[in-house]
Amino acid sequence: MGSRIYVLSILMLLVGITLPVIIGYLQISREFVRRTSANTTTQTTTPTTVRLPEYTTITNHITIVTPSSTTIEGSIEARHVLLEEGYKSVIEFIENSRRVLSEVQQIMGYSYTEGGIFDTRVSISTSIPVPRALTLNRVAAQEASYYPTTSVSRTNVQVEGVDEADIVKNSDRIIVVALQNKVYILDVENRRVSSVINITTTQSAATIRGLYLYGEDTLVVIISHPQFINAVFQLRTESSLAKTSVQRSLEATSIYIFDLSDIYSPILLRNTTLSASYLDSRLSNRYLYIIAVESIYGDDGGYVIPLLDGKPIEPASIIAIDELPAVYTIMLAIDLETLEHSATAYMTSYGFRIYMSRNNNLYIGSPISSHQRLYLDAVIQFVEISLKYLPTDVSVNVSRYVGKGNYLDAYNHILNYLSSLDQKEAVNIIERINSELSRLNYSYIDATKFYVYSVDGIQVKHRGVFKVNGSLLDQFCMEEYGDRYFIVATTSTEQSIKYEVVEYRITPPMYREVEVTICSNSKCSITTIPIQREDRELRRIAVQPVFTAISTSNNVYIADARNLEIIGSLKGLAEGERIYAGRLVKNIFFLVTFRQVDPLFAIDVAEPTHPVVLGYLKIPGFSEYLHPLPGDLLLGVGLEDGALKISIFNVSNPSNMAEVSLMKISHTWSPALQDHHAVTVYLARNISIIPAYIGFGAKQGFIILSYADAKLNLKDIVDHTDPLRSVYIGSKLFTISSTAIRIYDLDRERIEWEVRIG
C-alpha cells in the first residue's frame, strides 16, 4: 500500500490526464453542447425554489480626491439571489462533467485547480449556426493605415483601430496614469494633477489591470481584487432536489466608467463586477469587450455559477462549447455611450492569448498540453505492452481490468507487482517496455485550440473552433489578413516518453513505545505499550515517466475565418529554433526565430492557400518586437549577447532583406522586450522612445532614437528612475515613472518640468 501511495504521489506532481475510459460519460455533455450552442439567443425560464442563502464578497470603495477635497464613494454590494429552473440543464451538465473529472482524478490523483489541465481533447462537431454576414469596416491596406502620422500619441497597439488596455492613456488635454490602485489625471495645459482616483477594498488594495480613454471624456478603469464566495446552491424540480455547496476564493474583475468632462471632478457613471479573473480586453469603436475566466468548480469541488454584479448570469447566456470544460470564459460587452451591457459565459478550456480584428472577429487561443495527450496514450500503451512481460497470474488480473475499461486498477496492479521485485528485475521489464515504445516511434506534438467569436455591438456569438499544431508565443503570432483570413504562427515541440525505475527507501519510525489514554468521570489513566521496531530499512521500487523533447520547428497556418478551415500552411520552418516575434505588414508576414542566429523570415500570404517564404535574413541576436515604419522598414527591438539591440531592417525586397542599421547598448534591459505598449514611435519626427535600465540599472531613463534616412542615432537619454511609458503631445514628450511625470522639450532637448505622482 505504501509503495502505491508513493508511486501515485510522484505521478501526481508530474502530469494530469483524461483517459479514453471516461468517454462513456460524454453523451450528456455532447447533448448539452449541441443544445446550448444551437440556442444562444432566447431561452424561456420559470422561477423555482432555488436560492443562494450565503454569499460574501469584499466591498470595493472608490475615493476620488480633488483639489477641493471633495470625496465621492461608491460600493458594490453582493445580494442574495434566486436561481431559476433554466439553470437545471447547466447544473446537470456540470454535475456530469464533475463525475468524469472524478474518474480522471482517481487515475492520476490530481486535484482540480483553476487553469488546471482538465480540458477536452475530444474533437467536437456541433451544429453551431454561423451568424449573418457582418458589415465590415476594414480600411484598405494603404500606407496611411499602417503609419498614421499625428502630433498626439496613443497606445502602441497591434491592430490599428482596435485599442488595448494599458497603464497610461492620453489625449491632447490630459494624461491618465495607473499605479497600483490609484489613477492620476494630469491637466496637460496647467501641468498639474487635477484629481486622483483611489480604489481600495475593505481588506486589501485593488490592482489596476488597465485603462481606456474613449473620446475626450470617458475613462474606463479595469481592476482585479480578491473575492470570496460561500454559497449553497439548491435546484428543486418536480422529481428531485439538487443541492451543493461551494467555497471559492478568487480574483474578481471590476470595471469602472468615469465622466471626465470636468477633470477636476470626475463622476462615476457605472461600475460592474464579474466573479472572474481578468484575461484581456479590447475597445473597438464605442464598444468595450472584457474577457475574464472563472473555474467551473469551487475550491472544494462544488460547482460555481458565474456572477455579474452579484447575480448569476442568465442560464440562456451560459453556453457549453467543450464537452469537458475547465472554466467559464466570460465575455462582457459594454456600450460606452449608452452604458448598456451584456454578458455571456462560455464553458471552455483555459484561454491564453486573444486577438481582435477590425472585421469584428475575436480569437482566443487555448494551449493543449503535449504532456497531457502524450501521457494519456502512453498509459494505455504501458498497460498493454506490460501484459507480455508479466507472470500469468498478474497478466490475467490486468487483462480483466482492461476488459472492463478500468485502466486505473490495471495500472496500479502492474505498479504493485513491479514494486515487489528487486530493482534489477524491474529495470529489465521497463527497458523492454521502453524498447517497444521506441520501436513504435511513440511521440506527441503540442497543439493550440482557437475559439472564434463574432462581435456586433454588445452582442458576442461563438462561431466555432479549430486547432493547429504547436504553441503560441504572443498576440503578434496571430493576425487577420484581408477580410476573411486568419494567420497564426506556432512553435511545435515533438516529445517522447519513456519510463524509469527509481528505488527509494523508507526508514521505520523511531518510536519505541505508544501511549494509551483512557478517561472516565474526569479521571484519566495512561498506559504505555512497548513496541519492537525493525531496524532495517524498507526498499521500494517506483516507476515514473520521463518526457524528452525530440525536436522543435515552426509553422504558419492560414485559416478561412468564415468556415474556420485551415486552407494553407508552411510547416517545419527553422528546425531546432523557436519563434520570438511576428508581424504582418500588408501581404508579408514577418517571423523571427532564434537559437544561434536570427532568421527574419518574409512570408508572402497574398495567396492564402499557398503561403511562400520569399527570403530570410540571418544575423546574431534576436528581435523580441517588430514595428513597421514607412519606406518598407522594420524596427526591431531585441537582445544580443546581453546587450539591448535596436535594428532597422530594409524589407523593400523581401527576397533580399538587409539589416541596414543597428545599435547595441551593453548591459541594458528594456520593458519593451516584454510589453509592446512601452514602445513609442513618433513618425512625424522620425524618432522612437524606449524605456531602459542601463548598466544593470545604474542609469535609468528613456532612450530617444532617431531613425531618419534608415540610420539609427542616439539623440538623448532622459534620466528617469523606474521608467514605464512615454507619450507625446506636439513638441512635448512626457516620460512617466512610478513617482513622477517629466516634461521634455523635443525641440530644445531638455527637461523643463516635473510633476510628482505616486
pLDDT digits (tens, 9 = 90+) for 455-492: 999 999 999 999 999 999 899 999 999 889 999 999 99
Encode pLDDT of 286-338 as tens digits: 999 999 999 887 666 667 788 898 888 988 899 999 877 889 999 999 999 99
Per-residue confidence band for 129, with pLDDT thresholds at 50, 70 and 90 = very low
Instruction: Please state which of the ranges 8-17, 178-187, 369-378, 747-756 shows the lowest mean pLDDT.
Output: 8-17
Would the pLDDT of 109 be above 50?
A: no
Distances (CA, A) of 205 to 72, 199, 391: 18, 7, 63
The residue count of the chain comes to 758
Residue type, 659: E
Question: What is the rounded CA–CA span in Å between residue 85 and residue 242?
Answer: 11
Per-residue confidence band for 345, with pLDDT thresholds at 50, 70 and 90 = very high
Q: Provide the grid cell at 330.
A: 466570460
Residue type, 299: D
Per-residue confidence band for 94, with pLDDT thresholds at 50, 70 and 90 = confident
The three-state secondary structure class of 651 is coil
Distances (CA, A) of 515 to 286, 298, 509, 510, 525: 74, 40, 15, 15, 10
> What is the phi-psi region of residue 47: left when phi exceeds 0, alpha when psi lies from -120 to 50, beta otherwise?
beta
Closest CA to 99 of 33, 36, 21, 35: 21
Distances (CA, A) of 51 to 83, 530, 671: 6, 57, 48
Encode pLDDT of 485-506 as tens digits: 999 999 998 888 788 888 776 6
Q: Please give the model's pTM, rounded to 2 decimal places.
A: 0.79
Most confident listed range (78-82, 263-267, 376-380): 263-267
Would the pLDDT of 32 be above 70?
A: no
State residue 43 phi and psi, 5-degree precision.
Answer: -155, 125
Instruction: Please state which of the ranges 156-160, 234-238, 247-251, 676-680 shows the lowest mean pLDDT.
Output: 234-238
Question: How are beta strands 311-312 and 318-320 bridged, if at all?
Answer: unpaired
Question: What is the rounded CA–CA span in Å between residue 690 and residue 526?
Answer: 74
Residue type, 361: N
Residue type, 549: A
Residue type, 372: Q
Closest CA to 152 of 177, 188, 186, 179: 188
Distances (CA, A) of 183 to 177, 221, 622: 6, 8, 36
Residues 6 or more apart from 672 whose CB is under 8 A from it? 624, 625, 637, 678, 679, 690, 691
How much is the pLDDT for 19? 39
What is the DSSP secondary structure assignment for residue 127, as one 8-state letter? Answer: -
Instruction: Kindly state the helix (H) or strand (E) to which residue 146 belongs, with its residue range.
Output: helix 143-146
Per-residue confidence band for 609, with pLDDT thresholds at 50, 70 and 90 = very high
Most confident listed range (92-96, 532-536, 673-677): 673-677
Number of Cβ within 10 Å of residue 527's Cβ equals 9
Q: What percent of the chain has pLDDT over 90?
A: 46
Handedness of CA 466, 468, 474, 477 (dihedral sign): negative
Would the pLDDT of 562 be above 50?
A: yes
How much is the pLDDT for 15? 35
Domains and CATH numbers, the chain: 27-133+197-352 (no CATH), 619-756 (2.40.128.630)
Closest CA to 32 of 419, 407, 315: 315
How much is the pLDDT for 533? 58
How much is the pLDDT for 136? 25
Encode pLDDT of 217-229 as tens digits: 999 999 998 876 6
Would the pLDDT of 626 be above 70?
A: yes
How much is the pLDDT for 292? 96
How much is the pLDDT for 40? 47
HEC per residue, 482-517: CCCEEEEEEEEEEEEEEEEEEEEEECCCCCCEEEEE
Say if residues 103 and 21 touch (Cβ distance below 8 Å).
yes
Average pLDDT, the chain: 79
